[in-house]
Amino acid sequence: MVIKENSLGTLTIGEIAATLPGATAVFRKFKLDFCCGGDAMLVDAVRKRGLDIGLVEKTLAALDPSTSAPAPEATGALIDHILSRYHETHRRELPELVRLARKVEAVHAGHPEAPRGLADTLEAIQVELEEHRQKEETELFPLMRQEHDSGAELPIAQMRLDHDRHGELLRRLDTLAHGFALPGDACRSWEALYVGTDKLIDDVMEHIHLENNVLFPRFEHREAA
Ligand SMILES: [Fe+2]
Ligand SMILES: [Fe+2]
């Protein structure tokens, strides 16, 4: 995709995220929601956050597309990529983050900046993501691999609702961890917890973006046609 400054405002955030490698990192930096809020036009989302559209467009236009690997093109390969890069990674990383959060909350219970409630929210995400992955892995993805022309619309709508709920929980993580600002006397475990949780948010947002903005539209547009 060739990007020119001043040409992005009328595209949606999801369209830009799906076609411009590296754009998702820019959206994260400006705290623009590219996964669940991908339907919003860039200019509207920027205005809502009180940002400068010129600065956001300039940052996007300055991206070097050759430095980010694009997601696989073919549907089967894209699903394989989602499973190995995201589903398995979250399965592996979340139990350790819950354990770390419980430890930090217990050891620093009297600290004014302790992330109270973070362990419970991480555990809620762990449970919800597992239920959601099961639905994708056993129902929706097998249907998509067969390239069926119909039948995917309802499960996709349900997955999009689940993603919205995941987005709410991710925002709660950010709030409970005070934007991941570590106090000066934070221990190694606290630091590891914030680094790991911040990375988890990045990963889950990229994951939702790949499904909402790249994979799902292939089947929704087909049915609409
Ligand atoms: Fe998924
Ligand atoms: Fe999903």
**What percentage of the chain exceeds 90 in pLDDT?**
65
Alpha carbon separation from 2 to 7, 19, 78, 199, 212 (Å, rounded): 10, 10, 23, 29, 23
The conformation of residue 73, written as its DSSP 8-state character, comes to S
The C-alpha atoms of residue 202 and residue 45 are separated, in whole angstroms, by 19
pLDDT at 131: 97
The model's confidence at residue 225, banded by pLDDT at 50, 70 and 90, is: very low
Ligand 2 mean position to 187 CA, how many Å?
34
- 164-177 per-position pLDDT tens digit: 999 999 999 999 99
Q: Which range among 51-55, 60-64, 134-138 shows the weakest confidence by mean pLDDT? A: 60-64
Ligand 1 mean position to 114 CA, how many Å?
31
Question: Helices H, strands E: what count in the chain?
Answer: 11, 0
Ligand 1 mean position to 59 CA, how many Å?
29
| pTM as predicted | 0.83
Residue 5 has pLDDT above 70, yes or no: no
The model's confidence at residue 107, banded by pLDDT at 50, 70 and 90, is: very high
Ligand 2 mean position to 125 CA, how many Å?
13
Ligand 2 mean position to 159 CA, how many Å?
6
Q: Which residues lie at CB < 5 A from ion ligand 2?
A: 211
pLDDT at 4: 56
CA-closest candidate to residue 32, choices 56, 59, 3, 68: 56
Ligand 1 mean position to 110 CA, how many Å?
38
Ligand 2 mean position to 136 CA, how many Å?
7
